[in-house]
Chains A and B, each alone.
Chain A
């Protein structure tokens, strides 16, 4: 026998109040944990996908759209830019690395990105099987693509035009899988990576086919020069040697060229701040429910203290001290809080797994990231102090208890 056991028996003897207290507290913890986990997953997703990219340069349009399309691969690109102009930027002494990317095709909804080998290093992606792209029409698959579509090295497929799966506008040139990447939990997992030539070749052949008649009237070298000058890419992912370049370089691009330079960190921070309003609202609602659950626990414990005054007085005659009676009430509160915390944690894990499973199906990327240990501890401490506050208010009758009066009046 000990105080924990008596507290547990007390809780078991009032199942409805206990159930109510646990439910309300679990609801608030679920909301707080859930929102924290979503916020953290969202922020983490942005941070990890941003990697070392300092600047995105693309066609004029919305900077946020350019960043979403080029960094997170979630939106349509703003347009194309000249590869010749892009090369001038690549050669700029202030630029540490500049990775050109070009896309506009997909295979079963997964985007095909034409780029250089450096693209893989942005995401620290490594090959799991096969080799890197060396020739045109070769591709390397992200881990999610390979797994979901059950593709392996040596397989071939035909890409379709646009960024959404379709069976109408399919290209004639076969792409061959030469490698599969290890999972990175970044956007590259759901991309099909090839070289720039593959993208240009696929589209050039089609232009060739449609303008075949005109082709005979032109000199072959002239056409080749024209093709070289017409080469376009979607955007350029730039990393600077020094962060100081961030202050002047983007302005220079925006003012003196027909290209758009967007700061991904700034744009995504703006997006995060915008979406945070929703998160913040739910967080405040959750805190409100937490206060209400504190009240429910207080009422439950206070009711117990008042209704069981004679039991408590008798315990004092058994030799129990006031402090032991207070501990008994505190343990009841802590048991309720512990139950609520465990239930809420399971709810969040199961609930978010279901919700994000749906998001994975639609976004083809695993977004769920485990909530850091510190966040759980922080919430645990918050709930603990709330229980202590509820108990502190509920134990007032114990502190003021007059055993003699209670025992006399109960005759």
Chain B
């Protein structure tokens, strides 16, 4: 499903070259990438998502090397196949909960299915807030909405950036279980990058940066 090989990246105006280990994930395999701050975890996640172009190396998803795609094709590919969960709990501020999901499907060029959206919101305990503006949601609700947005289009891969770093143990467990459940439901790969060692036990694959 997901392979990366010989990935390196160098930011402009810096001399440091990030070198990343190769990744090879089969269908429904999950991975946690652990490392200290500044080691390049987010850079690796952005390379895997096609947000950054690597200096060298390739990233392939379903045999498609995304590093060779043109920007517009990459946008489409990312919209259809990749779901991203950010550490900062965020959704489009001007839209309500349901419209955020609709926007995700619209830009991912996926069909809007109201029943499916409501079922997902119900599963994440957000159905009562489907018409609420995102500013009115609590931190926990925002986090769950972030997960809903990342999985509503049934991506091939879910990439999560520090999803649990600011959470207590109970909430950390809840978020991890949610992510794994949604990944299992959509048969997606889940890759979590974090410095939070508490979550190591949830994954069969671990990479230490």
Q: In this complex, which of B51, B99, B161 has the most chain A Cβ atoms within 10 angstroms of its Cβ?
A: B51
Residues of A within 8 A of B88 (CB): 310, 410-411
Q: Is B94 an interface residue (CB 8 A)?
A: yes
In angstroms, Cα B87 to Cα A9, docked, is 25
Q: Is B201 an interface residue (CB 8 A)?
A: no
Q: Say whether A1 contacts B162, CB under 8 Å.
A: no
Closest to B159 in A: A317
Q: Say whether B93 contacts A13, CB under 8 Å.
A: yes
Q: Is A324 an interface residue (CB 8 A)?
A: yes
Q: Is A316 an interface residue (CB 8 A)?
A: yes
Q: Mark A310-322, 1 if CB is under 8 A from B, else 0.
A: 1100111111111
Q: Is B42 an interface residue (CB 8 A)?
A: yes
A1-B103, A1-B105, A403-B51 known; A319 vs B80 contact (CB < 8 Å): yes
Q: Say whether B75 contacts A9, CB under 8 Å.
A: no
In angstroms, Cα B91 to Cα A310, docked, is 9
Q: Say whether B92 contacts A315, CB under 8 Å.
A: yes
Q: Say whether B107 contacts A320, CB under 8 Å.
A: yes
Number of A positions contacting B (CB below 8 A):
28
In angstroms, Cα B88 to Cα A410, docked, is 7
Q: Say whether A317 contacts B49, CB under 8 Å.
A: yes
A1-B103, A408-B42, A411-B162 known; A319 vs B75 contact (CB < 8 Å): yes
Closest to B78 in A: A319
Residues of A within 8 A of B51 (CB): 316-317, 403-404, 407
Q: Mark B70-113, 1 if CB is under 8 A from A, else 0.
A: 01100110111010101110111111000100111111110010
Set A314, A403, A408, A411: member contacting B92, Cβ < 8 A? A314
In angstroms, Cα B91 to Cα A410, docked, is 13
Residues of A within 8 A of B46 (CB): 403-404, 407-408
Closest to A13 in B: B94
In angstroms, Cα B109 to Cα A194, docked, is 78
Closest to B92 in A: A311
Q: Mark B140-176, 1 if CB is under 8 A from A, else 0.
A: 0000000001000000000001100000000000000
Q: Is A303 an interface residue (CB 8 A)?
A: no
Nearest-CB distance from A320 to chain B (Å)? Answer: 4
| Interface of A toward B, CB cutoff 8 Å | 1-2, 5-6, 9-10, 12-13, 308, 310-311, 314-324, 403-404, 407-408, 410-411
Closest 7 pairs (CB-CB, A-B): A319-B79, A1-B102, A318-B107, A319-B107, A13-B94, A9-B94, A1-B106
